Amino acid sequence: MGESHTRGPHLDPISGRLQGRAALITGGGSGIGRAAAELFARQGAQVAVAEIRPELGRSAVDAIEAQGGTAFFVQTDVTQEASVQEAVNATVSRFGKLDLLFNCAGGSSPQDALVTDVSMSVWDATISLDLKGTFLCCRYALPHMIEAGGGAVVNMSSGAALRGSSPAHVYTAAKGAIVSLTRALAGAYARHNIRVNAICSGRVNTERVRTSYGIPGQAGNVPDPMNVDEQVKAYPFWFGEPEDMANIALFLASDDARMITGAAIPADGGRSSY
């Protein structure tokens, strides 16, 4: 078995796969978004870290600059149209263009539940963050990508979008809609040389998930309806690190994926397949 089968993150040693590209990454201050911001910058992209929490956004930029990369922080609330428009405009004025968008801000609520039980305030917050946020960022970024002559969008969905059994019904609906939106945008913008793909992730070891839902061998603060230890027994590749998702986002954003658009990549260790 080769290196790629081990559990730890695998960082591609080849540099420059995004050389000269201008990227905007939402939720770039922590977790998967931060890993992607650092990786994209190491691969030569200039990165706008669009993040709601300034301390996280600034710390991501500091880390990128310490590695010799180029980045800036733009405080952004992806649920607010004016904020998204400002973030996109700030990126274009800083870098002169926009080539890549990684819609990563998002997440589920521990209060999410069955359709008959869930509070409608959870519906509003989750749909707003996961679906509306993704929609708004595409709305304002795509015209600039057309102007740049092409580009790539990567949307963060979830393995929950690919199976009907998740008990978090609002999150499942939001991430499913992101897959549908991804396909619709891929069809509409291919003629502008823009690719749009989604990542349907398994469980990833981020602070938010560790604290709330738990990781193998370490329970979180709220009851985990999936039972992470049982899942990992059945699907050993279901659990990964932020860098695992960042590597997939890098591939989809790079020219290596130039024939791939409208895809929802099941990066869930096979859980949606068997």
Among 30, 43, 231, 261, binds ligand NAD (CB under 6 A): 30
Taking CB under 6 A as the rule, does residue 79 contact ligand NAD? yes
The residue nearest ligand NAD at its CB is 31
Question: Would you call 127 exposed, middle or buried from its count of C-beta atoms within 10 A (0-12, 13-18, 19+)?
Answer: middle
Three-state DSSP state, 230: helix
Taking CB under 6 A as the rule, does residue 52 contact ligand NAD? yes
Radius of gyration, alpha carbons of the chain: 18
The interface mask with ligand NAD, positions 198-217, x = CB under 6 A, is: ---x-xx-xxxx--------
171 catalytic? Reply is yes
Phi, psi torsion values for 248, nearest 5 degrees: -70, -40
Q: By C-beta, is 207 or 255 nearer to ligand NAD?
A: 207
Contact stretch for ligand NAD (CB under 6 A) within 92-100, 103-111, 140-148, 162-170: 103-111
Quote the strand ranges of the chain, DSSP E.
22-26, 46-51, 70-75, 100-103, 151-158, 194-201, 203-204, 214-215, 218-219, 239-240, 264-267
Minimum Å gap between C-beta 212 and ligand NAD is 9
Contact status, residue 47 vs residue 21, Cβ threshold 8 Å:
no
Of the residues 140, 171, 189, 213, which is catalytic? 171
Taking CB under 6 A as the rule, does residue 151 contact ligand NAD? no
Residue of 50, 34, 182, 45 lying closest to 100 (CA atoms): 45
Among 18, 22, 23, 29, binds ligand NAD (CB under 6 A): 29
Taking CB under 6 A as the rule, does residue 170 contact ligand NAD? no
